[in-house]
Amino acid sequence: MFPDVLTRRFSGLTPLTAVENAAIAAICQRPSAFRPREEIRAEGVSAPLMYFLLDGWAQTSIGVEDGARQILKAHVAGDLMGAPSAPFAEAVETITAVTACVVAPVAPAALAAMFESHPRLAWLFFLTAQEERVALMDRLTAGGQLGAHRNLALLLLQLHARLNPLGDRDMEIPMTQQQMGDMLGLSPVHVNRVLQDLQRDGLVRREGRRYALTDPDRLRAFVGLPLRTFAKPLPGTAGA
Binding site for a copy of itself (CB under 8 A): 13, 62, 64-66, 68-70, 72, 83-89, 92-93, 108-109, 112-113, 115-116, 119-120, 122-123, 125-134, 136-141, 143-146, 182, 184-185, 224-225, 228-230, 232, 235-237, 240
Q: Considering the complex, state which of residue 20 and residue 182 has its C-beta at the smaller distance from a copy of itself.
A: 182
Q: Considering the complex, state which of residue 42 and residue 129 has its C-beta at the smaller distance from a copy of itself.
A: 129
Could you tell me how many residues of this chain bind DNA (CB under 7 A)?
Answer: 20
- Largest Cα–Cα separation, the chain: 55
DSSP, res 215: -
Q: Which of residues 188-227 bind DNA (CB under 7 A)?
A: 188-190, 192-196, 208-209
With b for 16 or more beta-carbon neighbours within 10 A and e for fewer, the 60-69 pattern comes to bbeeeeeeeb
Closest distance of CB 235 from a copy of itself, Å: 5
Strands lying side by side in the sheet with 69-75: 39-41, 94-97, 58-63, 69-75
From CA 224, how far away is CA 219, in angstroms rounded? Answer: 9
Of 169, 48, 163, 57, the residue nearest 111 (C-alpha): 48
Q: Considering the complex, state which of residue 14 and residue 96 has its C-beta at the smaller distance from DNA.
A: 96
Contact between 148 and DNA (CB under 7 A)? yes
